[in-house]
Structure 1
Amino acid sequence: MSHDDAHSQITIMALSTQKATALSGNHTEQPYISQVVIIMTMRDNIADDGFAPWLLQGATLDHGYPCITPLPETVPMPKDLVPFDKRNSVKNKHAFIHFYENDRRFRSLAANPDRYIPKLKEFDGVISPDFSLYWDAPLPVLQANTYRNRLLGHYMQRQGLPVTPNIRWGDERTFEFCFLGIAKCSMVAISTVGCLSSRKGMSYLSAGLEAMMDILEPSRVIVNGPMPAIIFGKYWNLAEFRTYASWTHRMKGRSYGNR
């Protein structure tokens, strides 16, 4: 039986000319991709959007989403956060690499993660890739990007990298799947960059944070970007929060406090 006979393929086409906004620091508001093509290979519990199935090897699945094993509580929170595209320019390796930047800047890693594993191992750890979840995007696109977050996080972990899961949500539709594959009472990472510039963004940030705290009950939360008390204050006694200035603000000499 051929590969195509054994695994039927579905191509999803999403067309849009309207503007879409992502709950991501990488994309505040820009023209939405005019054509999104996702190829899904149907397997027992795999939604493969182009990744080789070997990336899933050894994974435990949570409703089809690969699980990222939590780091032990003895592992300290990062001393610093460095964007993936700055990995070659920083001298201090006592930091976690993050992907809170435009998706195209880590597209090459998504296509060939093995190429970057040795370099990533020079750092203290990694936050799983932050594929954008556009508010106006079709649901299958949002699900696929969450899946890719977990898949690459799992694979990098299997290659020996300390991985902290990135939690990214969009609108309320994503709350049904954006927390899957993440252990309760563990350390997680989020980014607020780009989420505080509008009432809508703040509303989605607040709603998603409430859902995350209720569902995952994290013990520690890494926050890339500002952490306003009006949104975060009521959770400060429930978990350890640590905020890190975004790379852009850091270059401007700004900083934020910790709680």
Structure 2
Amino acid sequence: MKHPTSNWAERPRAGISDIWNSALYEGANWTELDNPVVASTAKEMPTAVIPWHEAKRTHKRKMAKGLRDYHVDAFIHCYIDDQKFDGEREGIWKQWRFFFEVASHFDGILGVDFSTNADFPEPVKRFQFHKMHVIEHGAIQRGIPTIVNARWGTQETWSYCFDALPENDVLCIGVVGSGLRNLENRPMFDAGLRRLIELKHPKTLVVVGSANYPIFDEVRASGITVVQLDGETSRHFKQKERRHV
């Protein structure tokens, strides 16, 4: 059965704008919780990452110089404060076409990571998870190499936060700003990661931020490959930027 969003663009009445981003849902297969099914499509593991706000600055500089065919050997991530990628004017949810335009000049995207703070109302947290996978689906549909993001919150989110994630695939997680240096924050993170592995059996975890915590030793011991990348624009990218034109 077709989802109601599947042919929205074919039947809007005059004067209507697509304020619900239904164009992002085209071609989706749906979970029972009405999230688009996603799978990682990147053929190569990232060797460098750049946060969205810096990727955007890079794009604007290149365009100003007339370098419309430039390419940067780095993946864009959103493991940053939400106001830097989910604002009213230039947030990737509202301005997704611009996000994809910029991403087309990079190796791909990972870490589409809208916040799901414990004190958010439950419907807001659910919508944040939904947005992650809608953006990922839209990128995949447009041929942008994508590594699917996994995120979890307190235990009550486990009934829906892993929905739509692929099994036996590559997933990315972010530990930037996670507070894992404080011992009291680790049990919830560790429990969620164990639950993710139990349900989805990832073959590779791309970790943006430090992977020097005991839980990742446990992950490696289970046979899962851990690829660790720095959260800020990586040194690898900074050293090579001048050649990425």
TM-score range, shorter chain: 0.7 to 0.9
* CA distance in structure 1 between the partners assigned to 2:146 and 2:234 by the alignment: 25
Between 178-187 and 61-70, report the one with greater CA deviation.
61-70
Q: CA offsets per residue over residues 49-89 of structure 1, 9 Å max, x none?
A: x63222111111112111113326xx121011110111133
Name whichever structure is richer in helix by fraction.
Answer: 2
2:58 aligned partner = 89
Answer whether contact 2:79 2:111 (CA < 8 A) is retained.
no
- The equivalent position to 1:173 in structure 2, one of 136, 139, 156, is 156
**Share of identical aligned residues, percent?**
24
1:99 maps to amino acid: C
- The equivalent position to 1:242 in structure 2, one of 221, 227, 230, is 227
| Structure 1 residue 215 displacement after superposition | 0.7
Q: CA offsets per residue over residues 21-53 of structure 1, 9 Å max, x none?
A: xxxxxxxxxxxxxxxxxxxxxxxxxxxxx6322
1:142 maps to amino acid: K
2:112 aligned partner = 129
**1:114 is aligned to 2:93:** no
| Structure 1 residue 128 displacement after superposition | 4.8
Name whichever structure is richer in strand by fraction.
Answer: 1
- The equivalent position to 1:185 in structure 2, one of 161, 168, 172, is 168
- The equivalent position to 2:20 in structure 1, one of 27, 45, 51, is 51
1:54 maps to amino acid: A
* CA distance in structure 2 between the partners assigned to 1:98 and 1:227 by the alignment: 17
* CA distance in structure 2 between the partners assigned to 1:62 and 1:116 by the alignment: 25
**1:69 is aligned to 2:54:** no
2:74 maps to amino acid: A
**1:197 is aligned to 2:176:** no
Higher relative contact order (CA 8 A, sep 6+): 2
Q: How high is the TM-score relative to the length of structure 1?
A: 0.72
Q: CA RMSD in A?
A: 2.4
| Structure 1 residue 206 displacement after superposition | 0.5
Gaps in structure 2 of 5+ consecutive residues: 5-18, 60-69, 236-245
Gaps in structure 1 of 5+ consecutive residues: 1-5, 7-49, 251-259
Answer whether contact 1:82 1:96 (CA < 8 A) is retained.
yes
Aligned residues: 202
Output aligned runs, 1:92-107, within 5 Å.
93-107=72-86
